[in-house]
Amino acid sequence: MKTIQHITYPISEHTGCVCAVVKSILGLTRDIVKSIYLGMIQLLTWLAYVEREFPSSISLRARLDVIPRAPHHERHRLSLGRNTLIESLCVVCTWHGDVILEDGASIGIGSIVIGPVLIGEGSVCSQNCFISGQSHRYEDVSKNFLRQGVNTEQVVIGKNVWIGANSVILLGVKIGNNSVIGAGSTVVEDVPAYSVVAGNPAKIIKRYDSETKQWKRVRTYRPSDKIKPYSQLVD
């Protein structure tokens, strides 16, 4: 025969339980207040600092650093054309220059775009890309690099450019129309129109042949060409 046992908890366990519930409620309240505050900042940002044509979409979970936060930050533009998209977890910063998305341009999940940057009509930046028209100065080794100011040079991405996931595009780079940047590339120099580039540093791997209307492989670079004997790498 089974017997039902009455379990009694010590008072301290009850207290612990109540504390946990109170802590959860406080945490939830704090999160709600924080979300409302961030939502209001976002709304203010959208209304006062973003030039938008419609339809265009900015994820609520994108971070827009467009309100100047330091005395040396000038007010710059975040301008979105029609059918543009900034997906969630993106960061767009205009503290050092304008970020302009022409009609149909988009910035994929998790990407970071630091102005000055122009993304041309219909160009797509895939997931987790880093595009920066700004870089810290570091010439004076007696000073922390953060106190040496920044260099800026606009990144210009032409029309109908596809930037593969996890790519990095550094300041001053200009990418010609109808080009493709391979996934994981680091682009440090200009890319001609109708080219596919890939690698780190990115090199041309294909060019479009307008006569045959086909992309043709370019074999000017192989990673193995770059490997130097160990003796040359040591001072």
Ligand X SMILES: CC(C)(COP(=O)(O)OP(=O)(O)OC[C@H]1O[C@@H](n2cnc3c(N)ncnc32)[C@H](O)[C@@H]1OP(=O)(O)O)[C@@H](O)C(=O)NCCC(=O)NCCS
Asked if 123 touches ligand X (CB under 6 A), the answer is no
- Give least dist CB 20 to ligand X, A: 43
Nearest to 165 by CA among 205, 107, 207: 107
Nearest to 91 by CA among 124, 66, 121: 66
- Give least dist CB 207 to ligand X, A: 12
| Candidate segments 1-9, 67-75, 81-89, 191-199, binder of ligand X by CB under 6 A | 191-199
The string of DSSP codes covering 15-33 is HHHHHHHHHHHHHHHHHHH
- Give least dist CB 178 to ligand X, A: 13
Give every CB contact of residue 162 below 8 A, 6+ residues apart in sequence: 123, 124, 126, 179, 180, 181
The residue (of 169 and 196) whose beta carbon lies closer to ligand X is 196
Rounded to a whole number of angstroms, the distance between the first and last alpha carbons of the chain is: 85
Single out the residue of 93, 187, 196, 203 in contact with ligand X (rule: CB under 6 A): 196
Asked if 58 touches ligand X (CB under 6 A), the answer is no
| Candidate segments 3-11, 87-95, 175-183, 186-194, binder of ligand X by CB under 6 A | 175-183
Single out the residue of 80, 92, 131, 165 in contact with ligand X (rule: CB under 6 A): 165
Asked if 173 touches ligand X (CB under 6 A), the answer is no
Give me the 71-110 binding string for ligand X, x by CB under 6 A, dash otherwise: ----------------------------------------
Asked if 115 touches ligand X (CB under 6 A), the answer is no
Give every CB contact of residue 151 below 8 A, 6+ residues apart in sequence: 134, 135, 136, 137, 171
Single out the residue of 62, 119, 198, 203 in contact with ligand X (rule: CB under 6 A): 198
Buried/exposed code over 105-131 (b: 16+ C-beta within 10 A; e: otherwise): bbbbbbbbbbbbbbbbbbbbbbbbbbb
| β-strand pairing of 106-107 with 124-125 | parallel
Binding site for ligand X (CB under 6 A): 126, 164-165, 180, 182-184, 196, 198-199, 205-206
